[in-house]
């Protein structure tokens, strides 16, 4: 683990405690918030994301009174304001949005309380971040993609109620279209996110992995315990794909079936044949996933059968 990264990550919560005292109505967002809700956090973050509709200038002045140096960063999105805040030589990124969070709940974080969205909103927001060229992040940065997929898996491990997930997903699309002055449809956004996830399921280079080994190695610095490997990313991405096409509590029944089938060699062989017949993946890709990430293969079979086609010129999967 990167010690400097750990120091900056710890500072996130020190600053959050001060900020919640200044503005108790703020809502804690992002990867840091997700990890804070886990019984045992799995990764570190140096970003402090909040939703706050109050007077930002007054808010910043209060931070400065607490001895923090605050410098504004450039923002490409309206209604988002980005800052670097530092004290005693430790820097943390503070990103403030004016988004209205539909439902919140209060949680204990360290030795203070803070509002957060419900877990289904976190899932929807992480899926939406992967919808490049629509409502997602502006750049396909592999390390950010890794964090989003990892966080989705962390949330799903908590088995949250998914009955409001589709509603939250639609709300995020509405909010992002309004902010960006765009008109992307739900289908366009979903297809975009799924294309990103499909790239991450692949286990053979075409001509190289979408998620590079360098990005994967850098991501390890954020992990508190153990490591993740390419097979883990393939499984987590495939899991998120199934969620994207089953945004309700039926997901858990499908997942149970997936995990059982992944233990059965005959079921995996059958899945391989079906995927090849449907032209989902090449023989080489199927063999790689079956070998290093059989659970990912089982998930992939349960991802919307019949709606994937292969771009034979590039070897990529398309919706």
189 contacts 173 by C-beta, under 8 angstroms: yes
Residue owning tokens 């998120």 = 240
245 contacts 197 by C-beta, under 8 angstroms: no
- Residue 270: per-residue pLDDT: 93
pLDDT by residue (tens digit) across 100-138?
898 999 999 888 999 999 999 999 999 999 999 999 998
- Residue 206: per-residue pLDDT: 65
Residue owning tokens 């990529």 = 316
**Residue 242 φ/ψ, nearest 5 degrees:** -60, -40
Bridging pattern class, strands 69-73 and 80-87 = antiparallel
User: Tens digit of pLDDT per residue, the chain (319 long)?
Assistant: 567 677 777 788 888 999 999 999 999 999 999 999 998 889 988 789 999 989 999 999 999 999 999 999 987 766 789 999 998 888 889 999 988 898 999 999 888 999 999 999 999 999 999 999 999 998 899 999 999 999 999 999 999 999 999 999 999 999 999 988 999 999 999 999 999 998 998 877 766 788 888 899 889 888 988 889 989 999 999 999 999 999 999 999 999 999 999 999 999 999 999 888 887 778 888 888 999 999 999 999 998 554 444 443 334 444 4
- Residue 221: per-residue pLDDT: 84
Closest to 144 in 3D by CA, of 123, 130, 133: 130
Angstrom distance (rounded) from CA 201 to CA 204:
9
Angstrom distance (rounded) from CA 172 to CA 227:
32
Topology of the domain comprising 1-117: Beta Polymerase; domain 2 (3.30.460)
- Residue 149: per-residue pLDDT: 97
pLDDT by residue (tens digit) across 211-237?
888 899 889 888 988 889 989 999 999
- Residue 317: per-residue pLDDT: 42
148 contacts 61 by C-beta, under 8 angstroms: no
Tokens representing residue 99 in the block:
């988004």
Domain ranges of the chain: 1-117, 118-319
SS3 (DSSP) at 180? helix
DSSP state, residue 316: E
- Residue 90: per-residue pLDDT: 84
- Residue 121: per-residue pLDDT: 96
Angstrom distance (rounded) from CA 308 to CA 197:
13
- Predicted TM-score of the model (pTM): 0.90
């Amino acid at each position: 683990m990167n010690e400097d990264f750990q120091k900056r990550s710890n500072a996130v919560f020190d600053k959050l405690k001060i900020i919640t005292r200044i503005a108790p109505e703020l809502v804690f967002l992002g990867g840091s918030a997700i990890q804070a809700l886990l019984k045992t956090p799995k990764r570190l973050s140096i970003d402090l994301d909040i939703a706050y509709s109050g007077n930002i200038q007054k808010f910043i002045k209060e931070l400065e009174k607490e001895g923090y140096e605050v410098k504004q960063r450039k923002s490409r999105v309206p209604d988002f304001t980005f800052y670097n805040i530092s004290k005693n030589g430790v820097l943390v990124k503070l990103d403030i949005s004016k988004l209205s969070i539909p439902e919140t709940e209060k949680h204990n974080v360290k030795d203070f309380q803070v509002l957060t969205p419900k877990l289904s909103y976190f899932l929807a927001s992480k899926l939406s971040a992967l919808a490049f060229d629509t409502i997602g992040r502006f750049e396909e940065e592999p390390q950010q993609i890794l964090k989003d997929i990892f966080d989705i898996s962390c949330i799903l491990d908590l088995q949250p109620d998914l009955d409001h997930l589709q509603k939250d997903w639609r709300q995020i699309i509405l909010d992002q279209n309004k902010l960006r002055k765009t008109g992307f449809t739900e289908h366009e956004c979903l297809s975009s996110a799924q294309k990103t996830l499909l790239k991450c399921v692949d286990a053979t280079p075409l001509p190289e992995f979408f998620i590079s080994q360098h990005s994967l190695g850098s991501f390890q610095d954020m992990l508190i315990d153990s490591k993740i490997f390419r097979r883990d990313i393939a499984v987590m991405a495939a899991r998120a794909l199934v969620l994207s096409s089953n945004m309700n509590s039926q997901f858990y029944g499908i997942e149970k079936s997936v995990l059982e089938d992944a233990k059965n060699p005959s079921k995996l062989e059958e899945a391989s044949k079906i995927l090849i017949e449907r032209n989902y993946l090449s023989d080489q890709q199927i063999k790689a996933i079956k070998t290093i990430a059989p659970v990912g293969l089982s998930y992939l079979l349960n991802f919307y059968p019949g709606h994937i086609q292969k771009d034979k010129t590039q070897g990529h999967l398309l919706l």
